[in-house]
Amino acid sequence: MDSAALLSHIDELPRLPKAVSELLDLVNNDGASVADITEKISHDPLVSARILRLVNSAHYGRSREVGSIDEAVVRLGMQTLRTLVIASAVIGAVPTIAGIELGEFWGQTFEVSLYGQELAKRSDTPADTAFTCGILHDIGDLLIATIEPDKSVKIREAVERGENKCQVERDILGYESPEVAALLAKNWKFSSELVQGIKYQNHPEQADPYSKQAALLALSHMIIDDWDLIDENERTSWLSQQAISLGLKMEVDGLQDKIESLRGKGFDIAKQLT
């Protein structure tokens, strides 16, 4: 099945529940009031519970526990709330899939999201879009496991043997998983900026026009894959070189320490939301 044939499977892709879709529309509406949003969130017990768990987690928490959605909205601010609602919605829409450990999957996903968010702040790019891009960037793996389960197993086995994932997917499927993730993001009516970022995350040089979001995803994955291999005295220089190679103008002063402080936080967030 090539990427064009995926369109015939569009009905197999997860759909956002109507209530969640309406909530996303609301949090993405700059004109929506805090009262409107808190009321809508309060009508969804699962989203409410996830947000309260997260706002009280080590990453976002403060000395006093937050006990209500109203207080959570005030504590988090609209931008952070928006990203957490999206994250909760995506997690809730994706079913359990045999052979994929979702705790590990979402942990890695949030690691990428947090790195991308920080990198975006330093490269004059919308940080909330980068976070959301990270949340959706690898969801193609889950969708392939749903649509082509036998081929998904073969891909995972090949990657575990050290083979290149992009090449394996092209050989087995005829397309790469980010194409599926981008299709889902488009189906869920996310912005074209986000869709392009997801689609070209493995090949940002191919994006036309240039996609900062694709470059941020690529750099976030480089950090996950290579950080421990780089001498700590060389990491700032390495970050600068990688950003330049991806066409990103980025402020790297203090970035190494920030990345160190973020490492592992994605797994903490995943535990709160799953």
Helix 18-27 and helix 78-93, axial crossing angle in degrees, nearest 10? 160
Structure tokens at 91: 């997690």
Mean pLDDT lowest among 5-14, 29-38, 203-212: 5-14
Q: Please give the Cα distance from 171 to 90 (Å, whole number).
A: 29
* pLDDT value of position 184: 83
pLDDT in tens, 209-256: 999 999 999 999 999 999 999 999 999 999 999 999 999 999 999 999
* pLDDT value of position 186: 85
Res. 8: pLDDT tops 80: no
pLDDT, the chain, mean: 86
Smallest CA-to-CA distance from 40 within 88, 106, 75 is with: 88
* pLDDT value of position 210: 96
Q: Please give the Cα distance from 139 to 106 (Å, whole number).
A: 10
Whether the model pTM is above 0.85: yes
pLDDT in tens, 94-131: 777 777 888 899 999 999 999 999 999 999 999 989 99
pLDDT in tens, 45-87: 888 888 888 777 767 666 678 888 888 877 777 777 777 778 8
Q: Please give the Cα distance from 211 to 3 (Å, whole number).
A: 21
Give the ranges where the chain is alpha helix by DSSP (H). 18-27, 34-42, 45-55, 69-76, 78-93, 102-121, 127-136, 139-147, 149-160, 165-172, 177-187, 192-199, 212-226, 235-245, 255-262, 265-273
Structure tokens at 273: 């939301």
* pLDDT value of position 157: 94
Handedness of CA 239, 131, 2, 225 (dihedral sign): positive
